[in-house]
Amino acid sequence: MLKFDFEVNRGEFALAAKLQLPNQGVTALFGRSGSGKTTLLRCIAGLEKVPKGYLEFNGEVWQNTNTFLAVHQRPLGYVFQEASLFPHLKVAANLLYGFKRLSKEQKKLQPDEVINLLGIEALLQHYPDELSGGQRQRVAIGRALLTSPKLLLMDEPMASLDATSKAEILPFLEKLRDQLRIPIIYVSHAIEEVTRLADHLVLLDAGKVVAEGEIQNILTDPNLPFIQTETASTVLKAKVKQPLTSDGLTELTLGQQPMFISQAGLEQGQETRVRVMASDVVLALTPPQDTSLLNCLTAWVLDIQPDPNPSQALVRLEVGNQRLLARISKRSLEKLALEERQLIYALIKGVALN
């Protein structure tokens, strides 16, 4: 458990954050620019010395009125927006820079393990200026991991990357989350990154914590802004039943219900998550016949929410114990005569999911 209580006052900007965050998975600090995400991350790292601040990690006090552990005394790794690799050192030497300074007992992760995890075997003898943006950032992540941190802080690590580099690095961040079990605090203002990576979400605005909780609950909360955007979506957790079938689709199970997505690289029995856009969900009163739609999920109507577009409505659904959003026209809503607790079928294109 990560517990903290920070108050920062800089005149025009003030941060007030008192939270208890889980010590597993990825917690995203999310909000628009200037909301206080990076300032809060710097407080956790010890880069901001906040008078009367408090920070405790897994029962160990890092900061209170009598104690302040400096950055190098805190067992954490920090990945910045820019990779900031040493330009005169090859990748191998960059990776080992912090590793060499650890005692034998402190070395929980080994170079080969991290190199294989991040897929950077072929880069070891290159200099940083010979790498793409995504490659440099993978090396920076590897360097942070080889300090054997108990907590990993990531400050918008993909903010400076182009779309191609982001697509390259996201699968490695997912592997990091799923295989190493190191708690990660991840700063971002890109909802696509957050929905793909985060388990827990903290929403910040003007230096205040607006909401925090399990990501699915936050994304589908009618009192929060996420469902009122064009990109309204949720995240469904599923398990891989059959990876990459002969037709290029991966079969999942969502509880007892089958689901098909166009994503490779998954293994049988692996737990995964699927982001579903509200606009990609079609509703039906009966299971359809003779249709190209592969995914037909049995669901219950939780409630119906207004939409910023006056011609549309948002239907919140329950699939097993998970939440799903569907954006449909008001005409369709009237035609189906939807009511709370009504049984419904949610249809989703397999090619819309990855």
Task: Please report the pLDDT score of residue 289 as a whole number.
Answer: 86
The conformation of residue 128, written as its DSSP 8-state character, comes to G
What does the pLDDT look like over 86-126, one tens digit per residue? Answer: 999 999 999 999 888 888 888 888 999 999 989 999 999 99
Nearest to 324 by CA among 255, 245, 263: 255
Task: Please report the pLDDT score of residue 10 as a whole number.
Answer: 85
Widest CA span in the chain: 70
- Topology annotation, domain 270-352: OB fold (Dihydrolipoamide Acetyltransferase, E2P) (2.40.50)
Distances (CA, A) of 14 to 211, 288, 304: 17, 54, 37
Nearest to 151 by CA among 65, 63, 58: 58
Q: For residue 201, what are the β-bridge partners?
A: 28, 213
Question: Mean pLDDT for each 10-residue chunk of the chain (354 residues)?
Answer: 92 91 94 92 93 93 94 92 90 91 87 92 94 92 93 91 85 86 92 91 95 95 92 92 84 92 83 92 92 92 94 96 95 94 92 71
What does the pLDDT look like over 9-19, one tens digit per residue? Answer: 888 889 999 99
What does the pLDDT look like over 65-83, one tens digit per residue? Answer: 999 999 999 999 999 988 8
Task: Please report the pLDDT score of residue 164 as a whole number.
Answer: 86
Q: Identify the burial level of 339 via C-beta atoms within 10 angstroms of its C-beta, where 0-12 means exposed, 13-18 middle and 19 or more buried.
A: exposed
Task: Please report the pLDDT score of residue 37 as a whole number.
Answer: 94
- How far is the C-alpha of 140 from the C-alpha of 111, rounded, in Å? 13
Domain ranges of the chain: 2-214, 270-352
Sheet holding 312-319, edge to edge: 281-284, 343-348, 295-306, 312-319, 322-329
- How far is the C-alpha of 129 from the C-alpha of 143, rounded, in Å? 17
Task: Please report the pLDDT score of residue 354 as a whole number.
Answer: 66
Q: What angle do CA 327, 353, 170 make, to 5 degrees?
A: 115
Task: Please report the pLDDT score of residue 45 as a whole number.
Answer: 95
Residue 334 host element (H or E): helix 330-336
Contacts of 225 (CB under 8 A, 6+ apart): none
Instruction: Write out the two tokens for 159.
Output: 């903010």
CATH superfamily of 2-214: P-loop containing nucleotide triphosphate hydrolases (3.40.50.300)
- How far is the C-alpha of 331 from the C-alpha of 303, rounded, in Å? 17
Under a CB-based contact definition with an 8 Å cutoff, are residues 296 and 324 in contact? no
Instruction: Write out the two tokens for 139.
Output: 């090396």
Q: Which amino acid is at 102?
A: L
Give the three-class secondary structure for 42. Answer: helix
